[in-house]
Amino acid sequence: MENIFGKTLNECKKLMEEAGEPSFRGKQLYQWLYEKKAAHLDDCTNLSKGLREKLKTRYAIEHGSIEKIQKDPVDETRKYLIRLPDGNSIETVLMSYHHGYSLCVSSQVGCRMGCAFCASTRGGKIRDLEAGEILDQIYLTEQEAGIRVSNVVIMGIGEPLDNYENILKFINIANEGWGIGQRKITLSTCGLVPQIEALAELDLQINLAISLHSPFQERRETLMPVAKKYRIEELLKVCNNYFTKTKRRITFEYALIEGFNDRPEDVAELAEILGKMPCHINLIGLNPVTESVYRGSRNVNFFSNELKKRGITCTIRRKIGDNIDAACGQLRQKADGMKR
């Protein structure tokens, strides 16, 4: 059976036309899937019983399942281990803020980017997530927690732009079907230059975050293998082009590592390469990962103050979920061994 959850409006219209129905039935189906959140085709009661039976010979509304939930006792962050229909699993994190609930979603089962400080890449990439499987993380957490997700950050397991087509499809459905504004969706990438170039042509209003982590080419290569393919100069050039075309300011993510990228010369070089670009720097206290030799910096406030003295806009990311390995860089594709 083909999963109908994750179909775009045009795809819903097309499958109705293939079933010999007028295309407006596709819009009705689309509304049942994402606005009314039907769990089964039989729930779509303004479609005739005969049509529902016809659709059921080929399609089903299929969701994953929540296998485990961890709740941080300090900040109430929730981490979900989600079992996919094929038996693979991913993690997603629900965060509470004064403005509402944000969900950090995964885009792949595993990751092949190989960043040295990230748990998500251990074991490599298994497969891409379908658009419906990314959206399903919103569906499942909203159902379990009884809340409405207002913001989505595509920062979980996987490199979103390595799953480009499914990510665009997800953004389309999350926005038009689920009702989450594009400006409330943030896509985080380690810096895949061709995909950033392609994204700039689409006139989306999403927020783009780029993992930078060092202003020096050689040090960035040590942390992020992708830097060997796309040098900092090339990445910054495409970022400038992205802003020119979209008028959307880019956020650069910078995980501060003790003795590695938290030095005075790092501040000076960051200010030099980013000083003329409309951007924002999000400073992240590196979170511990068992297999990594890197440790978080104790100079976060110093680094922030020095950047501001040089006219660079920056903030320090609020540290949440680290009691349950749900903080930045700690998510894994795993079915057991979750810290209790």
Neighbours of 196 (CB within 10 A): 21
CA distance 28 to 175: 17
Residue 89 marked in a binding site: no
Residue 142 marked in a binding site: no
Residue 239 marked in a binding site: no
Amino acid at 90: I
Residue 104 marked in a binding site: no
Residue 158 marked in a binding site: yes
Residue 48 marked in a binding site: no
Residue 304 marked in a binding site: no
Say which of 190, 239, 314, 328 is annotated catalytic. Answer: 328
The yes-or-no answer on residue 91 being catalytic is: yes
Using DSSP, state whether 36 is helix, strand or coil: coil
The yes-or-no answer on residue 328 being catalytic is: yes
- Kindly report the length of the chain: 340
Say which of 12, 21, 44, 91 is annotated catalytic. Answer: 91
CA distance 290 to 330: 9
Residue 287 marked in a binding site: yes
DSSP E strand boundaries for the chain:
2-3, 59-60, 65-71, 78-83, 89-97, 100-104, 108-110, 125-128, 149-154, 185-189, 207-211, 250-256, 279-285, 314-316
Neighbours of 84 (CB within 10 A): 19
Residue 98 marked in a binding site: no
Question: What six digits make up the tokens of 30?
Answer: 């689309």
Cross-sheet strand order for the sheet of 89-97: 65-71, 78-83, 89-97, 100-104, 149-154, 185-189, 207-211, 250-256, 279-285, 314-316
**Between β-strands 59-60 and 2-3, what pairing exists: parallel, antiparallel or unpaired?**
parallel
Cβ contact 121:108 at 8 Å: no
Q: How far is CA 4 from its chain centroid? A: 22
Residue 211 marked in a binding site: yes
Give the catalytic positions in this structure: 91, 328
| Feature table: binding site for S-adenosyl-L-methionine | 158-159, 188, 211-213, 287
Can you say which residues are annotated as belonging to the binding site for [4Fe-4S] cluster?
111, 115, 118
- Annotated binding site: which residue ranges? 111, 115, 118, 158-159, 188, 211-213, 287
